[in-house]
Amino acid sequence: LVSSIDMIPRGFVLLGLFLATVVSATQRSYDRFKVYNVQQETQAQADLLFRMAETNHKLDFWFLSKRVGDIATVMVPPEDQERFMASLEKYGLQFTELIHNVESTHEEFTSTATRHASLPAHRNILTSYLRHADINAYLDELASKHSAKVAVHEVGQSHEGRAIKTITINPGKDKVIFLDAGIHAREWIAPATALYVIDQLVKHNFEGDDALSSVSWVILPVVNPD
């Protein structure tokens, strides 16, 4: 009854798991919680998964869409696993177990994250997922090193009191392009993408490039640091 389907890349799963759990205000144990991939091959099956998400709030859908052919990803507590799998089998949905025990996977990831946190502050921002404080420190470093081209401003604070900063590259132009990232709790790749854009713009020589030199770039890499 269980069929093999393409697995979500391990890095995505671990980052999603981390953001789904440790960023929450209340810590809890996820021992024996499992994560499943579910193939939705018909519109009726996609609609069924949406109804399950709406009626059972203990099912934590990491990805869910109404598009036929997509793969839903859901974390299920131990007390609901038997009933959840029975429902999938009843309606002919193919599924596979993606994570056997969320708690042990979470412990593995946080152990790795702790080791990375001890790395030198100058680690490559293009190959690391930085904490919010490290992102702000990186912006301040750019402003210090490239003061003629870069300006950093604190535009406010989050609900929990974290500084929200923007970086302006090529300031003082009449036209402005504004980019933001990091709005949602599980949006892990967008801030990294914003940092990549910042890196490329700061390194770029604007002279002779009318398309870039005529505008100011204002980038907010983390809208919601909480």
Residue 19: predicted pLDDT: 52
Amino acid at 217: W
Measured at the CA of 92, the angle between CA 89 and CA 98, to 5 degrees, comes to: 65
Asked whether 217 and 168 are in contact (CB, 8 A), the reply is yes
Residue 123: predicted pLDDT: 54
Asked whether 206 and 216 are in contact (CB, 8 A), the reply is no
DSSP conformational letter for 182: -
Q: Which residues contact 67 (CB under 8 A, 6 or more apart)?
A: 46
Q: Is the dihedral of CA 144, 145, 147, 149 positive or negative?
A: negative
Residue 5: predicted pLDDT: 37
Residue 84: predicted pLDDT: 96
Instruction: Read off φ and ψ for residue 147, nearest 5 degrees.
Output: -65, -25
| Token digits of residue 133 | 């404080």
Residue with tokens 């709005």: 183
| Token digits of residue 41 | 């091959």
Q: What is the pTM of this model?
A: 0.49
**How many CA atoms, within 13 angstroms, populate the side-chain half-sphere of residue 191?**
27
Q: Where are the domains of the chain?
A: 10-116, 120-220
| Token digits of residue 115 | 């080791």
* pLDDT tens digit at each of 226 positions of the chain: 333 334 444 345 445 544 555 444 345 788 899 999 999 999 999 999 999 999 999 999 988 988 899 999 999 999 999 999 999 999 999 999 988 998 887 676 656 555 555 444 455 677 777 888 989 999 999 999 998 889 999 999 998 899 999 999 989 898 999 999 998 877 778 898 999 899 888 887 766 566 677 889 999 999 998 8
Pick the closest to residue 81 from 95, 92, 68, 91 (CA basis). 95
Q: Is the dihedral of CA 196, 199, 202, 208 positive or negative?
A: negative
* CATH 3.40.50.720 correct for 10-116: no
Q: Which residues contact 44 (CB under 8 A, 6 or more apart)?
A: 91
